């Protein structure tokens, strides 16, 4: 790989060229002055990174409960240690993708996007046109923590390296396998006990329980205000995709599964159609599904578990307490995958796995890429990575006698998920906490430990054996995927909601399939199959 900087003696000159190229200022005297200032201000090693404060502008999403990042203690500590002040533009996570795209299209670029959520398509294309810059040489020069990780874990380096050999985005990963099934299915056992019902094991028993929740006033307030089942249509960890497994083929947010090395598009299969008919006839028509399941946002969804009178009978979320609160959580239990009409009992395995590779990008508008890389590298030190993902020392953690980060008690009546949003940028932020770090550098969160136990007890025995891995596609493949898939998936998701709410699946199914053919489904699946075959062949080399 060709080095960006040939030797230590010309590092600062190269920095001056970078400033000149990005600033649009052709005044050579000014550029030289900038170079001299940087030479005395920038420290290639140690802290602070700069002797005099340097400001960087970064754009990042933030969760609903999170404060502005400028108010987060973890970032205030980083600023104090590094002398790098970040001017944050925080965008609510529900609006982030749209506004990120507008910024990229307008050319009004920040220095970097943080917790950036860049897709492979965006990494490839914005890297190709120069909107975001290659990072591998900056990593070699200025990121000792990240460089050590990539040297130790060539699998991570391979995963984040684009087909053209460049690294355009930095990784985010909590290597704990807790995302294998995001769809934890919860039911109100206190209501079941009151109504003399057992915890459902089959789809029919579950339907009977939902009907009882609706009609028999289990909360005892004399009103028919119970919500038998609520979810968030086609949203991560909140959707009913797992329930499709009762018909023999679990769904997921991509409608794409793998069996025996073959890629299957779930939303055209007979099992999928059967599930849609069932959900409409047995659930929606009888008023067992919350109508707002297809339109509500996370704030509305979470509020339904915290009404004055307990009104929520069943829901999908991977942390019981976050929906219903810590006091009511004792009333609820998890359901294993339900056994369907033909005895099928399975849960899907989430696609992907491995590090996210678009968590942090540096744009061409950045006049200080080496300072930026040194700043972000602090967050790849394992102890700091843990604090960035879960929260800072003395707020979320204390150090035990061995120097390990161990969890402090949560504030009263606060769930771990809510607290994490308030004190840390979270799981999409840069940084890698590897398997070997858990139990050595940091204790797994109590809720994560619970989730691991729940997966083992309720879901792993029924989980699909294969998934679609996190493949970094060739540019031409990405072009075709991006051309076909967004509108196709949008159509499928819209139709899925319509079929559940309005019915008509049998009548409209043939036209639905013909529309998908016209939209390029066959070509899309061929691309996914070819890429999977190539990926599997490379594993055998």
Both tokens assigned to 373: 């890389």
Beta bridge partners, 62, equal 92
Distance from C-alpha of 101 to C-alpha of 122, rounded to nearest angstrom: 10
Distance from C-alpha of 253 to C-alpha of 239, rounded to nearest angstrom: 8
Distance from C-alpha of 406 to C-alpha of 396, rounded to nearest angstrom: 8
pLDDT for the residue 87: 98
Closest CA to 348 of 275, 273, 266, 276: 266
> Helices 270-278 and 505-519: crossing angle, nearest 10°?
140
pLDDT for the residue 14: 32
pLDDT for the residue 41: 93
Judge whether 482 and 445 are in contact, CB under 8 Å: no
pLDDT for the residue 292: 98
pLDDT for the residue 39: 59
Distance from C-alpha of 158 to C-alpha of 149, rounded to nearest angstrom: 12
Other CB atoms within 10 A of residue 504 CB: 14
Helix (H, G, I), strand (E, B) or coil at 202: strand
Judge whether 380 and 284 are in contact, CB under 8 Å: no
Low-confidence stretches of the chain (pLDDT beneath 70):
1-39, 541
Residue 110's contacts (CB-CB under 8 Å, 6 or more residues apart) are: 57, 58, 59, 89, 103, 363, 365
pLDDT for the residue 178: 87
pLDDT for the residue 2: 33
Question: At residue 440, what are phi and psi to the nearest 5 degrees?
Answer: -115, -55
The tens digit of pLDDT for each residue in 339-365 reads 999 999 999 999 988 899 999 999 999
As assigned by CATH, the class of the 182-348+473-541 domain is alpha beta
Question: What are the domain boundaries of the chain?
Answer: 42-177+355-433, 182-348+473-541
CA angle 15, 21, 24 (to 5 degrees): 130
Distance from C-alpha of 400 to C-alpha of 435, rounded to nearest angstrom: 20
Instruction: Answer whether 42-177+355-433 and 182-348+473-541 agree in fold.
Output: yes
pLDDT for the residue 415: 83
Q: Name the percent of the chain in helix, strand, coil, to the closest 5.
A: 50, 15, 40
The tens digit of pLDDT for each residue in 484-522 reads 999 999 999 999 999 999 999 999 999 999 999 999 999
Fold type of domain 42-177+355-433: D-Maltodextrin-Binding Protein; domain 2 (3.40.190)
The tens digit of pLDDT for each residue in 370-385 reads 999 999 999 999 999 9
């Amino acid at each position: 790989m060709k080095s960006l900087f040939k030797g230590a003696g010309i590092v600062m000159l190269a920095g001056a060229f970078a400033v000149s190229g990005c600033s649009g200022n052709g005044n050579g005297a000014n550029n030289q002055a900038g170079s001299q200032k940087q030479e005395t201000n920038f420290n290639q090693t140690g802290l602070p990174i700069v002797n005099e404060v340097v400001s960087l502008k970064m754009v990042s999403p933030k969760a609903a409960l999170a404060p502005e990042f400028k108010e987060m203690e973890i970032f205030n500590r980083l600023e104090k240690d590094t002398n790098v002040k970040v001017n944050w533009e925080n965008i609510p996570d529900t609006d982030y993708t749209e506004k990120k795209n507008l910024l990229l299209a307008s050319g009004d670029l920040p220095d970097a996007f943080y917790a950036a959520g860049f897709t492979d398509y965006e990494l490839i294309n914005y890297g190709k046109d120069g909107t975001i810059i290659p990072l591998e040489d900056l990593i070699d020069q200025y990121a000792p923590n990240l460089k050590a990780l990539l040297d130790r874990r060539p699998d991570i380096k391979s995963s984040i390296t684009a087909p053209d050999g460049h690294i355009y985005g930095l990784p985010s990963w909590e290597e704990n396998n807790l995302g294998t099934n995001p769809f934890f299915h919860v039911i109100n056992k206190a209501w079941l006990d009151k109504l003399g019902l057992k915890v459902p094991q089959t789809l029919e028993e579950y339907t009977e329980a939902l009907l009882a929740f609706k009609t028999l006033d289990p909360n005892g307030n004399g009103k028919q205000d119970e919500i038998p089942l609520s979810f968030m249509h086609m949203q991560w960890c909140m959707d009913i995709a797992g329930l499709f497994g009762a018909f023999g083929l679990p769904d997921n947010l991509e409608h794409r599964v793998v069996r025996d090395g073959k890629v299957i598009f779930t939303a055209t299969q007979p099992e999928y159609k059967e599930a849609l008919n069932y959900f409409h006839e047995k659930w929606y028509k009888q008023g067992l599904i919350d109508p707002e399941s297809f339109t509500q946002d996370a704030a509305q969804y979470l509020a339904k578990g915290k009404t004055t009178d307990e009104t929520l009978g069943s829901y999908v979320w991977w942390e019981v307490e976050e929906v219903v609160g810590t006091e009511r959580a004792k009333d609820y239990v998890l359901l294993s995958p339900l056994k369907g009409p033909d005895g099928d009992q399975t849960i899907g395995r989430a696609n992907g796995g491995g590090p996210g590779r678009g968590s942090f990008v540096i744009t061409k508008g950045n006049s200080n890429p080496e300072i930026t890389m040194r700043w972000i590298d602090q967050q790849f030190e394992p102890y700091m990575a843990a604090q960035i993902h879960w929260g800072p020392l003395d707020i979320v953690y204390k150090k035990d006698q061995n120097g390990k980060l161990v969890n402090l008690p949560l504030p009263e009546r606060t769930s771990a998920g809510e607290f994490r949003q308030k004190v840390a940028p979270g799981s999409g932020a840069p940084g890698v906490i590897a398997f070997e770090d858990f139990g050595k550098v940091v204790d797994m969160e109590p809720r994560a430990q619970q989730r691991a136990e729940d997966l083992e007890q309720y879901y792993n025995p029924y989980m699909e054996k294969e998934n679609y891995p996190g493949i970094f596609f060739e540019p031409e493949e990405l072009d075709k995927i991006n051309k076909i898939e967004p509108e196709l998936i949008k159509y499928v998701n819209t139709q899925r909601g319509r079929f559940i709410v309005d019915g008509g699946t049998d009548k409209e199914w043939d036209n639905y399939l013909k529309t998908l053919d016209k939209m390029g489904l066959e070509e899309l699946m061929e691309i996914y199959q070819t890429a999977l075959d190539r990926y599997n062949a490379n594993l055998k080399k």
